[in-house]
Amino acid sequence: MSKLKSKTDKATFRYRDVTVMLDGEKAAERDALLELASAEEPPVDARLGADPAKEARKQLKALEDEMRDALVTFRIRALPTDKWNALIAKFPARDGNVLDNRKGYNIVEVTKAAVEAAAHLIEDGKTEPVEADEWPALWANLSGGDFDRFWIATYTLNEQDGWMGVDFLKKG
């Protein structure tokens, strides 16, 4: 067996974990509590009643504990270069879309296809595959900001990470 074969047999692709919170109601509630909790008001005389900021901080901690149950984490791996290039060729830039035109491909469709091809759900520290029929429900329940986390991870893994090179690892 050649030295190259022994190394390619052990090869793995870079990955990034992306976490999204799928309970928008709790997120909105948290935003309101954060505003109250960070209010800079003079200390309230305990004889007049509870300190609203202190109460909000207490509620915030409890709410954040509840919110953790709505977190979903995916491990996204880089794709082999031929597969990545096939995806960007399959989904050309949409006319008039500034982001697409800058990248040269439809970032929404390429991101979805890349994630569906290379992501696994992380449950209890272990990765497990996602069924093909589960992806549409995820995409339908993500905000633009949540989707951007997937896009940034996908772009970084497949286009940007390699730019750094490996010369820094060579012995001088």
Tens of pLDDT along 77-133? 999 999 999 999 999 999 999 999 999 999 999 999 999 999 999 999 999 999 999
Cβ atoms of 42 and 161 within 8 Å: the answer is no
Q: Is residue 76 part of a domain?
A: yes
Kindly state whether residue 24 falls inside one of the protein's structural domains: yes
| Cα-based torsion angle of the residue sequence 78, 80, 82, 88 in order, rounded to the nearest 10 degrees | -10
Asked if residue 172 has pLDDT above 70, the reply is no
**Is residue 172 in a domain?**
no
Is 170 part of a structural domain of the chain?
no
Residue 69 domain-assigned? yes
Any domain includes 4: no
> What pLDDT score does 89 carry?
97
Backbone angles phi, psi at 72, to 5 degrees: -130, 130
pLDDT for res 77: 96
43, two tokens: 């200390």
Q: Which of 76, 104, 74, 72 is nearest to 90 (CA)?
A: 104
Residue range of the domain that includes 116: 10-162
Cα separation, 147 vs 145, in Å, equals: 5
pTM: 0.79
Give pLDDT, residue 169.
74
Instruction: Report CA torsion sign: 99, 104, 108, 111.
Output: negative
Domain count, the chain: 1
The predicted model gives 11-36 an average pLDDT of 87
Q: Which of 81, 76, 80 is nearest to 152 (CA)?
A: 76
Q: Which of 31-35, 113-117, 156-160, 167-171 has the lowest mean pLDDT?
A: 167-171
The number of residues in the chain equals 172
Residue 169 lies in a domain: no
When pLDDT is averaged across residues 13-23 and rounded to a whole number, the result is: 92
If you average pLDDT over residues 1-14, what whole number do you get?
86
17 occurs within a structural domain? yes
pLDDT of amino acid 40: 65
